[in-house]
Amino acid sequence: MTSESFLALGGLVKHFGATKALDHADLALRAGSVHALVGENGAGKSTLIKTLSGLYQPDAGTIRLDGTEVTIDGPRAAEALGFRFIHQELNLVPHFDAVGNAWIGRRHPRRGPFIDRRAMRAKVADVAARIAPDLPLDKPAARLTPGQRQMAEIVRALMDPCRLVVMDEPTSSLSEGEAERLHAIVRQLSAEGCAVLFISHRLDEVIDLCDSYTVLRNGRTVGAGRVADTSRAGLVAMMSGGAGASTSTLQDTRSPHPEEAFAESRLEGRTDDVQQDHSNATALRPSRRPSGPPQDVEGGPLFGQSKGRGDKPVLATDIAFGPGDSRFIVSVRAGEIVGLYGLVGSGRSSLLKTIWGATPGRGLIAINGQVPRQGPAGRIAAGVAYVPEDRRREGLANLLSIESNLSLAHLSDFRAVASLPAPSRSKIRNFAGATGARLRLVAGGLDHSPATLSGGNQQKLLFGRWLGRPMRVLLVDEPTRGVDVGAKAEIHGEMRRIADDGAAILMATSDIEELLALSTRVLVLHAGRLVAEFDGPSLTRAAVVAAAFGHAPDEPMPPSERSA
């Protein structure tokens, strides 16, 4: 512990079976500092903060607060020390709203014998007004978007004064403007004397926001110091152990790229050529159905020419969902990566889920001019792949092994005997080994549950599941959320290869760098509507962010939003 630090972790060790998640890790924090904790996926960051929060007991090592060794034997002990945590996988009670969740474990205000809901709400509204004025306080957490759930967690953490707030990837599902707002809160907390331990894979954010850093690699502290004395490249070198180093625990048995290309499209690709077959959906009446390219509700063309290969869309939609009747007219051509951008709650995830068939919608969807069968199984049969945003609830089957999870979309190709449904173990193992190596998956073993993977490695698993499989359409929601810089480049490379192989990609992301780096075109959603489209020279950061906030391109933005 340096003379200035109020909290010092020394020589922390934590095993999970044969996996050494922490291997003599050290960390020292100054009061009121914003301290970055960085490292590749699986480096031990979450394990370290779970040890600090009392969720895990270290096998060895010490935690000193103000020079005195403390034992943190549970979350209450951590809370009593003034530590607050916002974990990567959020922990709200799903059927409680933000108010109910914020008051969990606290003495509720009372009016006589009754709980004073009005006072509870007023207190939460007060805290929310500082960070998330738009957060719906009365909606059950289960119905909030992941970004809103994160805000609800932050509100809960800030209900009382604190000495330390630990944030594990807090901005990974936030849009640019929301992340800026969060950064302002972090600076405010720091100015008030509360230290912030900030975990992020967004190194630009680390450089901009943090005063000091600790780098973990394979559970060990391999670097620490002042951010002003290092650089993005310096951090990457420490994280990866130098150029070209990889911490993958899996053998690289890289397999060649997908065997077969897609057959020619079987129908002309126009939405108006197809019939709606969703029994639960109201088809648009033929007289209203636009001819030629999809038209907007007023009848004028809403979206310009795509920049993909060919002029027929691989994916074409003219759909509406939810209570509003806003139509989502989207077409994506072979080779295109179309980005969807919007604030949390703007409807981007709902749009992807409706196209994927997991939530009901009205209208038309065509894949290469054919209406896919209902539900995700019908979409998979039509060559659609989907990587969801919320991996824990929608993506992973924790009762199956990592290798089975990776192989789920391939089982019919992996049969031991063509006439029997049972898959071949060795084919599953080979595919999982090759895909894991390709994405630098860090796992104790491929036969373990995905629940034992770090957050970023779970994301790699969800993406890897679809690799090596011919795809017509890839729907992807936050493709690299929580993924480290090395694997992020790998996933971006895979997405470009998938598009080059002729697939149409529709990608929602809150990471504006990712949006601008990958997208051929960007569609912006605001309050449940498609409000703008940008491509070529019109595709700029400022234009996209302004549209996401509901501003017309030449309308000036208010000063509070200009920094985004």
Ligand X SMILES: Nc1ncnc2c1ncn2[C@@H]1O[C@H](COP(=O)(O)OP(=O)(O)OP(=O)(O)O)[C@@H](O)[C@H]1O
CB 46 to ligand X: min, Å: 3
Smaller CB distance to ligand X: residue 85 or 549? 85
Number of residues that bind ligand X (CB under 6 A): 22
Contact map string, positions 55 to 84, toward ligand X, x by CB under 6 A? ------------------------------
- Taking CB under 6 A as the rule, does residue 171 contact ligand X? no
Tell how many helices (H) and how many strands (E) occur in the chain. 17, 21
Identify the burial level of 391 via C-beta atoms within 10 angstroms of its C-beta, where 0-12 means exposed, 13-18 middle and 19 or more buried: buried
In three-state form (DSSP H/G/I as H, E/B as E, the rest C), the secondary structure along 236-284 is HHHHHCCCCCCCCCCCCCCCCCCCCCCCCCCCCCCHHHCCCCCCCCCCC
Encoding tokens for residue 371? 């209406």
Smaller CB distance to ligand X: residue 41 or 317? 41
Among 236, 332, 406, 442, the residue binding ligand X under the rule CB under 6 A is: 442
Identify the burial level of 521 via C-beta atoms within 10 angstroms of its C-beta, where 0-12 means exposed, 13-18 middle and 19 or more buried: buried
CB 443 to ligand X: min, Å: 6
Smaller CB distance to ligand X: residue 17 or 242? 17
CB 483 to ligand X: min, Å: 8
Smaller CB distance to ligand X: residue 156 or 460? 460
CB 190 to ligand X: min, Å: 23
CB 249 to ligand X: min, Å: 8
Task: Measure the CA–CA gap between 507 and 474, rounded to whole angstroms.
Answer: 8
Contact map string, positions 6 to 25, toward ligand X, x by CB under 6 A? ----------x--x-x----
Q: Strands of 93-204 (E only): list them.
A: 110-111, 114-115, 164-168, 195-199
Considering only residues 469 to 488 of the shown chain, the ones binding ligand X according to CB under 6 A are 482
Among 444, 464, 486, 502, the residue binding ligand X under the rule CB under 6 A is: 444
Helix or strand (DSSP H, E) at 341: strand 337-342
Encoding tokens for residue 153? 């967690």
CB 6 to ligand X: min, Å: 24
Smaller CB distance to ligand X: residue 46 or 346? 46
Among 39, 369, 468, 528, the residue binding ligand X under the rule CB under 6 A is: 39
Q: Facing residues of 29 across strands?
A: 7
- Taking CB under 6 A as the rule, does residue 45 contact ligand X? yes
The sign of the dihedral angle between the CA atoms of 449, 454, 458, 464 is negative
- Taking CB under 6 A as the rule, does residue 452 contact ligand X? yes
Residue type, 455: G
- Taking CB under 6 A as the rule, does residue 402 contact ligand X? no
- Taking CB under 6 A as the rule, does residue 464 contact ligand X? no
> Which residue is at the shortest CB distance from ligand X?
456
* Stretch binding ligand X (CB under 6 A), from 43-51, 92-100, 354-362, 408-416: 43-51
- Taking CB under 6 A as the rule, does residue 397 contact ligand X? no
Secondary structure (DSSP) of 308-319: SEEEEEEEEEEE
Q: Strands of 465-546 (E only): list them.
A: 473-477, 504-508, 521-526, 529-535
**Is the distance from CB of 476 to CB of 459 less than 8 angstroms?**
no
- Taking CB under 6 A as the rule, does residue 41 contact ligand X? yes
- Percent helix, strand and coil across the chain, each to the nearest 5: 35, 25, 45
- Taking CB under 6 A as the rule, does residue 441 contact ligand X? no
Among 5, 46, 200, 295, the residue binding ligand X under the rule CB under 6 A is: 46
- Taking CB under 6 A as the rule, does residue 398 contact ligand X? no
Q: Facing residues of 525 across strands?
A: 342, 530
Report the DSSP pairing between strands 529-535 and 521-526. Answer: antiparallel
Among 345, 433, 455, 479, the residue binding ligand X under the rule CB under 6 A is: 455
* Stretch binding ligand X (CB under 6 A), from 37-45, 376-384, 530-538, 539-547: 37-45
Task: Measure the CA–CA gap between 72 and 63, rounded to whole angstroms.
Answer: 8
Q: Residues interacting with ligand X, by CB under 6 A?
A: 16, 19, 21, 39, 41-47, 88, 442-444, 452-457, 482
